[in-house]
Amino acid sequence: MTTNSTPIPASHPATIPVTGTTTFSSLALAEPLLRALGEKNYTEPSPIQAQAIPYLLQGRDLIGVAQTGTGKTAAFALPILQRLSANPTPVTPRRPRALILAPTRELAAQIAQSFGAYGQFLKLSYSVVFGGVSASPQIRTLQRGVDILIATPGRLQDLERQKHVFLDKVEIFVLDEADRMLDLGFVHEIKRIITKLPPHRQSLLFSATMPLAIQELASTIVRNPARVEVTPVSSTAERIDQHLCFVDKMNKSKLLAHTINQHPTGLVLVFVRMKHMANKIVEQLAKDGILADAIHGNKSQGARERALENFRSGRRRVLVATDIAARGIDVKGITLVINHDLPEEPESYVHRIGRTARAGLEGKAIAFCDSTERNLLRSIERLIRRPIPVLKGHPHEASTTALHRHENEPSQVGGHRTQSHRSGPRLGSGIRSGSFVGTGRSGSRPAGEGHSNARPAFGRGGRSRY
């Protein structure tokens, strides 16, 4: 198929150590897959890969509890590529054989890049579809037929309703980041999509957390599943130097500029709860002489791509983001994560700070806490099972001394860090997000995209705070 010249970037190593002597060659993977892995010098699977791949090659349904950075994309991509290539069939127009649902455009693009990289020596085709861009190239690709379809729920439902895609031939179904799907309000779209799938299929569900709502959803998707759970969400915070600054709400923007100036090297990722706050912070930082970009659900696809490229290249050292917009984005070189606003969900705190200290590198996370966020702070510390060391004496310290709940805690910013040791290269899931929409033969470059005022993939038509 015709593709453009955008290269498929290699994935980053997994962020957790591998135990035992399992290698990819011992997992009964096909030679073309091992060759692709070998080209990237990946020899040992991450824990979720080592545990999940054997089940999936047997055709078992699976529930995987794992967060971003553990290598879960390869955990399902490699078995899917192997199973489809072992039973080759001509592509059928508008009827994919495998369907992967992802909550955001960025994650969908990353997954597609993974399939292209791992399946470069296989004769399988893939396509990625999401909102915020013209549907016309996506429709043309689906009409030609693809083996593997990666999609966000909103755009997939639109295409299915218009009969541009049929799901009755799907052999393998993956629901990735199910918890984020529910956060984004995609539950109705997901349930409708499931009704269009054939009853006899292999189904996989991955989620960073497993609250009751996810368990109930899983019961409608998987049958007698194997369960794989790695790296509890709270433990990933241990490798990062964490600090806490008590600050009055009105002084947060001043403290943010001060903190960024105190860390003059490396990329800085700033998290906020509300998308309007992201824009406001970028404007304030500009007044303080700090260039930054914002990324959130209201940004167009083109604006998001430009902001990410500016951040990766260092043209903008600071990126201000909401949780939803940042989910699935993995950028090398982030040395500092600042929580300008504490998240409402404590798990999000761990996901946020996990953007730094990747691939065995060191990183620092600083959280701002005002008087309205005390309950959020307590929830976070319960999750990570330790108090976050308080940084005292900064120029914008909260005027209310009662905020300081660690009066006997030393004021130094030591944090808590454990070193990650690895005996060889690992395969991770953090692949830089691509800008392509369309299709590509596994191993080819992704196809180009069009642009329109199509509905973004971040909701169902309603407005989001994020």
Confidence of residue 2 (pLDDT cuts 50, 70, 90): very low
Question: Is 13 contained in some domain?
Answer: no
SS3 63: strand
- Report percent pLDDT > 90 for the chain: 57
Q: Is 361 a residue whose pLDDT tops 80? A: no
Question: Is 454 contained in some domain?
Answer: no
User: Between 242 and 348, where is the model more confident?
Assistant: 242
Question: Is 1 contained in some domain?
Answer: no
182 and 60 in a single domain? The answer is yes
Residue-wise pLDDT tens digits, 3-28: 322 222 333 333 333 344 588 989 99
Residue-wise pLDDT tens digits, 65-87: 987 667 899 999 999 999 999 99
User: What's the structural domain count of the chain?
Assistant: 2
Question: Is 431 contained in some domain?
Answer: yes
Minimum mean pLDDT among 104-108, 147-151, 394-398, 428-432: which range? 428-432
349 and 248 in a single domain? The answer is yes
291 and 172 in a single domain? The answer is no
| pTM score, whole prediction | 0.60
CATH of the domain at 260: 3.40.50.300
Question: Is 12 contained in some domain?
Answer: no
219 and 270 in a single domain? The answer is no
For the chain, the average pLDDT equals 80
Question: Is 129 contained in some domain?
Answer: yes
122 and 47 in a single domain? The answer is yes
Question: Is 96 contained in some domain?
Answer: yes
pLDDT for 429 equals 34
Closest CA to 4 of 447, 436, 443: 447
109 and 253 in a single domain? The answer is no
205 and 72 in a single domain? The answer is yes
Alpha-carbon gap, residue 253 to 247, rounded angstroms: 10
Sign of CA dihedral 230, 235, 239, 240: positive
Residue numbers of the domain that contains 336: 241-403
Beta strands 292-295 and 202-207 are unpaired
Beta strands 292-295 and 318-322 are parallel
Confidence of residue 302 (pLDDT cuts 50, 70, 90): confident
pLDDT for 235 equals 61
207 and 296 in a single domain? The answer is no
292 and 202 in a single domain? The answer is no
